[in-house]
Structure 1
Amino acid sequence: MLRAGERDPAGQTVTTEDGRGGAYRLVASTALGVVVLAILGAVMGPQWDPVPLVDPLVVESSSTAIGGAEPVPTYDVRTSIVTVELDGATVEAQISEPVGLDGPKRGVVFVHGAGTGRYDTAFIAQARALASSGVVAMVPNKRLDTYTTRHRDYVQMAADYDASVEVLQAHPGVDPEQVGLYAESEGGWIAPVMAAKDRSIAFVVLVSSPVVPPREQAAFAVDSYLRNTGVPGGVFRAIPRAVGMSVPGGGFEYADFDVTPYQREMHQPVLVVYGTGDASMPVIQGAELVLRDTAVGGNHDVTVRYYEDANHGIRVHGEVDPVFLDDLAGWVRGLPATGDAAPRIAGAQPVQTYMAAPVPEPRWFGDGNVVVALVVAAVGLILLGPLALLMARGVEEARDRVRRQRGAAALEGPRFAPGVLPRLLALGVGAIGTVVCLVWYIVAVARLALDYQRDDLVVQGGWIAVRVLGIAVVVAGLLLLRRCRRVRLAGGTPFPGIVRTAVLWAGVVGSVVLLVVLAYWGIFQLGI
């Protein structure tokens, strides 16, 4: 049935009016379509339901002072640059040492996190604080020829950093039996490997250490960042589907690296340090796991400290907490007495709402290459349709020009029935536009989360806008379906000819695939 004022395929004006019945059917059909997509989105992948942490670690004292540590002296500091020979490469390292201190000195080799890599920009405050207290500090450059976003081998990286340990152990004035490690962030997956394999390492400092496997830490961090940003609850479904999915193009084998076996082989004194303002790390669970793992190996020389409002890297307002630097120097200088001195766990009371846990693997879209291929193929189908139609029209017009030049009448070529092509374009453009808007929303929220910012207009309003666009695409698809049905009921053909049939089905199939992908990422969820 055609609406009033429209023409049937024969060119006759139709005066039939759907009225309220047609509007009601459209609303009902849209609701049904959204519900179907919501159910499909729910069954296609895992939900996100993190387990609350119900057994909080309790500090013994609000003071972070290290038991048994003596007052920290102050020395002038001199620096020098040395070259470290690795297997197939070399790196430079800066050594900071106290001036005027005689006798064998303790040493510390720094192990970089993911965001650092050079001695002239990383660990400047920490190395100077240790050196001025009488400890020789060595910051090597990170080896980068074997380190990429996609490929990292923490066991091999441990071997590379161990070469720096050997250099510092052989440095004049350093006691080779008193050289330890300072590992931050990602370095927390490397230092335990070094300590387990090299018993000459005297102690280990783990600062902002993830402890859990990288994939679990990533999911925990994303969840924490999103909660701080104030995103709607429906956005959290994307966490296991993104983090649990294999990354397009391969790589990231290190995402499931488990440091537990190495921590159980750490027999050196360990200092575990977190800031209570670090949203990216499981600050309670991490310390508990280190305590548990070292205890399995019979090592009880573990000291845990929490610094109030310090974020990743124990920074407050962009600067490394000076109290932490004093405690660090005191703990290192006081070993072995400080290794098991009370209080064992001290500082500000940490808070961790949820556990970092294994990430559910997506059932349908677990392969990132498949997801990308589906989206690219769907967009290709939608875009190639209009191109094919333009080419077909070009051929038809060229044919008609030749006929007119020969004095023959132009042929009446096949055409979409009135109203079909606009609705098809609205469906395809709307589907692509919704995907683009979803990607924009994810990027915008990620930037806010990483900067610890909130913006309700972007976070709440953006999510509503993306979902409204998704519903509008469903409406466009239903209007196209209803229009084709009316043309057929009137005895016409909504998409005559092979080319136009292919164009319509390409647009419809591509749009449906994108709607399914959007449903997978939670655009249509209704609390299901």
Structure 2
Amino acid sequence: MHHRKSTRRPGGWSRRRRLLTTLPIFIVLFGILVTVSTLTDVQWHDDATGRTITPATPNTAVAFANPDDVPLPALGTYEVRDRYVTIDVTRASTGEVQKLNVHVREPVDAGNGLPGVVFLHGAGYGTCDNSFSDVAKAMGTAGIVTAVVDKPAWSTIDINRDYPASADAYDAVIDYIRGLDAVDDGKVGIYATSEGTWISSYLLQDDPDVAFQILLSPMVFTPRESLAFFVAQDFTLAGAHGGYQSFVRRVFNIDAALFGLTNLDIRTLTPEAYAIPTFVAYGSRDVMTAQVDGLHTILDMCERAGNPDVVIRSYRGGNHVLRPGDLTALGTPYAGNYVNDLIDWIGGTLAGLDPICEQVAGAPIRQSSAVPTLRAQRVATIYGVVLHILTLVLLIASAAVALVGATRRIRQGLRRKEPVFGFSHGFGRSLALLVMATGLTLLLFVAAMGRIIMSVVNLAWGGTPAHDPGIMYWSWPVAQVVCALVVWEWSGVLARLIEVASARGILRVPPRKGAVREIVTGEQPVLASRRLGRVMFWLAGTAMFAVLLVFAFWGLFSYAEPLVY
């Protein structure tokens, strides 16, 4: 006679009972993590993607009606003389003084009444000698006085730039150029690129007498919106899984004001910033700017300011600084006929001539999606900061306890059998496996995000996307599956803990007489016979669950269709 093999451990539960206990624990834990992912999610917009503006003509030339044959600037007409001056500028908010070197280029024997241009830097720490040299010299050969200055940075860095103070510093250089005998003080304009187009907005509100402006790859929108669009778009171009967009959404909804950083939400989009003749230049390979929305917004601002003098050009093959190829390559010329177009536009505009060219011309202008409308989320920011700090503290504390255990083992001698942690019922092995699985998932995320960031930087510098995204794509679904399995295993461990505690009589009401004493002394342990083992289990277990909460905060437990740009 054959007997059915029992599924019950000696003194323990059947498999069915363990499953019925594990399942609700899993549902609760997984539900908590999914809820965190849902509550911290940020929905940007539902706008259509893949918009394109095709200009009426690919010809970027700027032409004016000139019936009286007014002499206009022409490239290569004059020799150029270089000289340097130093200007002291003061940061109004702190009184800090900075000495700025200014590289002035003047056409030789060009007479008086000349136009002038002052250059405004983009991000970074440009100097008067390593920025704008070729275009400034080219303008000089056309009879335009130019001034390139060290970027006014004071004691700030990129994330806390003082844009109003920067505008004051550049305006001081404008005043210097206006005061030169050879320059017509009513014909001095500015040339701003990228981040400099935020500064130019402050400058024009304070100094409406600037004659014209050239905006190269203008950011147009707030830093929060502009940077969020740039990063989200480049995540997609790099080939990252759509799930990683949740990282972008959460990062750019941070309330940075909690940390004293207010630049994310500066409002520079005003009609006053577009009330003067404006030349806008985009590159078709620029992956940083929202060109379609930017074009429409600039035209709208110019119309609201009553300014019809706006020309927009898109240059095929140009990157964010309008040069073909890699931004790091030195000596690369500008794309297309940009420099000639620019000089022609300055000359015709300052001469008051009527344009006879298309307002928008050049290569097709493309944009992957609309610029997101974002706002700072204070509650989510506070929760995220507290969670990450708490997780770090727990991980450090767990590592410290593990180190204590390792030290004790070494002191006892590696051959001795006396346990350090004294784990029982397989909890030590389960804890080690779960810590390893959670840690490897964390390392997978760090590796994937590192690869994505490197790819985004490569794209921003004019590189091309990787043929095979590799870890940038498969890491997200793999991590989701592994984390679900980790939660299931943790549920099994907790169910086993309940099983053993029940067998020890600790879960009775009241507990079995002597049960608490037996557990504390290690005579009849539930987790471990040693206090260090019990501390290690709960500390490491809490740390691992905190790591899962971190994953949930960044959207890993969101199983909705990812937003792909």
The answer as to 2:325 corresponding to 1:325 is no
The answer as to 2:365 corresponding to 1:365 is no
2:510 alignment partner in structure 1: none
1:377 pairs with one of 387, 390, 393: 393
- Structure 1 residue 350: Cα displacement: 0.4
The answer as to 2:429 corresponding to 1:422 is yes
**1:141-290 → structure 2 map (5 Å cutoff):** 141-246=150-255, 250-261=259-270, 263-264=271-272, 266-290=274-298
2:511 alignment partner in structure 1: none
Letter in structure 1 aligned against 2:180: H
Q: Secondary structure at the match of 1:177?
A: strand
Q: Structure 1 81/417 Cα, relative in aligned 2: closer, same or farther at 3 Å?
A: same
1:344 alignment partner in structure 2: 359
Q: Structure 1 349/414 Cα, relative in aligned 2: closer, same or farther at 3 Å?
A: closer
User: Are 1:203 and 1:269, in contact at CA under 8 Å, matched by a contact in 2?
Assistant: yes
The answer as to 2:462 corresponding to 1:448 is no
Point out where structure 1 has 5 or more consecutive residues left out of the alignment: 402-409
Q: Secondary structure at the match of 1:351?
A: strand
User: Are 1:108 and 1:179, in contact at CA under 8 Å, matched by a contact in 2?
Assistant: yes
- Structure 1 residue 351: Cα displacement: 1.1
User: Are 1:35 and 1:524, in contact at CA under 8 Å, matched by a contact in 2?
Assistant: no
Q: Which stretch of the first structure deviates more once superposed, 351-360 or 236-245?
A: 351-360
User: Are 2:302 and 2:308, in contact at CA under 8 Å, matched by a contact in 1?
Assistant: yes
**1:41-190 → structure 2 map (5 Å cutoff):** 41-49=37-45, 51-52=47-48, 57=53, 59-68=55-64, 72-74=74-76, 75-87=78-90, 88-190=97-199
Q: Structure 1 412/226 Cα, relative in aligned 2: closer, same or farther at 3 Å?
A: closer
Point out where structure 2 has 5 or more consecutive residues left out of the alignment: 66-71, 91-96, 327-331, 460-464, 505-523
1:405 alignment partner in structure 2: none
Q: Which stretch of the first structure deviates more once superposed, 185-194 or 241-250?
A: 241-250
CA distance in 2, matches of 1:171, 1:285: 39
1:404 alignment partner in structure 2: none
Q: Which stretch of the first structure deviates more once superposed, 180-189 or 416-425?
A: 416-425
1:467 alignment partner in structure 2: 480
2:559 alignment partner in structure 1: 526
Letter in structure 1 aligned against 2:479: V
Letter in structure 2 aligned against 1:369: V
TM-score, scaled relative to structure 1: 0.85
CA distance in 2, matches of 1:274, 1:306: 5
- Structure 1 residue 392: Cα displacement: 7.6
Q: Secondary structure at the match of 1:451?
A: helix
CA distance in 2, matches of 1:339, 1:113: 31
2:370 alignment partner in structure 1: 355
The answer as to 2:322 corresponding to 1:308 is no
CA distance in 2, matches of 1:361, 1:504: 38
Q: What number of residue pairs does the alignment pair up?
A: 507
TM-score, scaled relative to structure 2: 0.80
Q: Secondary structure at the match of 2:235?
A: helix
Letter in structure 2 aligned against 1:348: A
The answer as to 2:550 corresponding to 1:517 is yes
Q: Structure 1 516/458 Cα, relative in aligned 2: closer, same or farther at 3 Å?
A: same
User: Are 2:75 and 2:139, in contact at CA under 8 Å, matched by a contact in 1?
Assistant: no
CA distance in 2, matches of 1:16, 1:42: 38
Q: Secondary structure at the match of 2:365?
A: coil
CA distance in 1, matches of 2:419, 2:279: 84
1:188-247 CA-partner distances (Å, limit 9, x unpaired): 111122122113311111110111000001110011101111222211122121111135
Q: Secondary structure at the match of 1:333?
A: helix
CA distance in 2, matches of 1:169, 1:179: 7
User: Are 1:277 and 1:312, in contact at CA under 8 Å, matched by a contact in 2?
Assistant: yes
Q: Secondary structure at the match of 1:234?
A: helix
User: Are 1:46 and 1:363, in contact at CA under 8 Å, matched by a contact in 2?
Assistant: no
User: % of aligned pairs identical?
Assistant: 24
Q: Which stretch of the first structure deviates more once superposed, 448-457 or 136-145?
A: 448-457
User: Are 1:382 and 1:428, in contact at CA under 8 Å, matched by a contact in 2?
Assistant: no
1:359-390 CA-partner distances (Å, limit 9, x unpaired): 25457532363343133123234324424555
